[in-house]
Amino acid sequence: MVLDEPKENDDRFEVDGLTYLIDKDLHRQSGDVKVDFIDNGWQQGFTLTSTNPIGGGATCGSSCSC
């Protein structure tokens, strides 16, 4: 997950006033992606979950550079 400028090959989604971009080819492979934030006392950070995990899927903690 990174901050980036829109590109021609991006799908664009707006949720709760935030704009999310995902490369169209990656979106076709991964399916819809859920972005969430967890803070359960011992673990804190963003999680990314796809409906069609590539290689088993992944979640990212606060030091993520996905």
Residue 61, pLDDT above cutoff 50? no
Residue 52, pLDDT above cutoff 60? yes
DSSP the chain: -------TTEEEEEETTEEEEEEHHHHHHH-SEEEEEEE-SS-EEEEEEESS-GGG-----TT---
Answer yes or no: pTM beyond 0.85. Answer: no
Per-residue pLDDT tens digits for 19-34: 889 899 988 888 888 8
- Check residues 63 and 6 and name the one with the higher pLDDT: 6
